[in-house]
Amino acid sequence: MVGKWAKWFTAPTPSRPVPSVKPDSGIYLPFTTVFDEIIDADKIPAVLGNSLPGEVTSFEDAARRFDNEFQGERITIGAAAGRLVAHLHKELSGEQRSQTVVSFLIDHSGSMRGLRMLSALLAVEAATGALTQLNIKSEILGFTTTSWKGGKSRRSWVKAGKPRNPGRLCDLRHIIYSSADSINGFPWHVRHALRSDLLHENIDGEALEWAASRLDAIRWKNRIICIVSDGAPVDDSTLLANDNRNILIDHQKKVETELKQQGFVVGYLLVTDERYREPELIERAIEPEACALSLLMLVQRALTSALAAAPAAST
């Protein structure tokens, strides 16, 4: 359990449309979006404030490990990335590559701390590096909540008399590590994902909606979202307050379906051996090297799928 933060930073949050329906109608909606945050990753130290000494040491050790302990793995990964780049250079025209964007959406749930997050970052580092060589733009995003146990949203719900089936009952925190217009595809501050005090709950459906909203259909003909996660969406505050205990995963599946209808390709790298579901486009791995190789394979499969669907999507 993380310590309480000594300093809070609330980033300006773009207005999010909330359906005008009754909370018990069965339609997914957040109880409130007032406390949601969208932050740039370089603001994370200000957002989290003064960490406990043990958390600072843990983060520094994890960042050092990420930088120094995987050199052998990076050689193998780099060779695989080189083969992928050579293959895609032959398969994709310059125009196709310029019209393609890949968003890497990293689960920042508490269960991702440690080896799983190290594996995720090594994988995303490899994939963004390969895409940069191909002149394909990418984004790196993270999603979590601001705290455990529902935060300010739950307190507002309690103050309102605990209306039945309140919908999502936690405060979202969405993180921008790099955008499609960033010069550096894998900036240093991606390492902040290794901070244990940043990782809380995961609301995958709304994170997917947010990632998709950042990719303009006019600018990008081929839009791909790769989610790097270790399991199903979870927020105890939400699940315990709603009759439908599958409310979060049901919404995630609904969003996936809607995005595919809009021409998106959605793929998953699951950093787990649990089989809670089987998306259409999926790779699995746990160890760092295997995760990186699996994400490279997922990117190749997603690009193939996006280009195959492009003519149909444009008609």
Predicted confidence at residue 58, as pLDDT, reads 84
DSSP-assigned beta bridge partners for residue 202: 234
Segment 229-241 shows an average pLDDT of: 94
What number of H helices and E strands is found in the chain? 10, 7
Segment 67-85 shows an average pLDDT of: 96
**What residue type is assigned to position 185 of the chain?**
G
Segment 98-117 shows an average pLDDT of: 96
Give the pLDDT band (50/70/90) at residue 15. Answer: very low
pLDDT for residue 264 is more than 70: yes
Domains by residue range for the chain, with CATH:
37-310 (3.40.50.410)
Predicted confidence at residue 23, as pLDDT, reads 45
Contacts of 205 (CB under 8 A, 6+ apart): 28, 233, 248, 251, 252, 254, 255
Tell me how far the alpha carbon of residue 15 is from its chain's centroid.
20
Predicted confidence at residue 12, as pLDDT, reads 37
pLDDT for residue 283 is more than 80: yes
Residue 232 to residues 107, 130, 227, 287, Cα–Cα distance (Å): 10, 28, 12, 19
Predicted confidence at residue 97, as pLDDT, reads 95
pLDDT for residue 19 is more than 90: no
Predicted confidence at residue 170, as pLDDT, reads 97
pLDDT for residue 102 is more than 50: yes
Residue 5 to residues 35, 46, 60, 74, Cα–Cα distance (Å): 16, 10, 18, 35
pLDDT for residue 16 is more than 60: no
Q: How far apart are the first and last CA of the chain?
A: 52
Rg (CA), the chain: 19
Give, for 58, the enclosing helix (H) or strand (E): helix 53-68
Give the pLDDT band (50/70/90) at residue 313. Answer: very low
Predicted confidence at residue 50, as pLDDT, reads 67
Predicted confidence at residue 81, as pLDDT, reads 97
What are 1's two structure tokens? 């359990």
Predicted confidence at residue 220, as pLDDT, reads 96
Beta strand segments in 123-164, E: 137-145
Distance of alpha carbon 233 from alpha carbon 242, whole angstroms: 15
The rounded mean pLDDT for the chain is 88
pLDDT for residue 13 is more than 50: no
Give, for 252, the enclosing helix (H) or strand (E): helix 247-261
Tell me how far the alpha carbon of residue 254 is from its chain's centroid.
17
Residue 108's nearest CA partner among 153, 48, 46 is: 48
CB count within 10 Å of CB 202 equals: 27
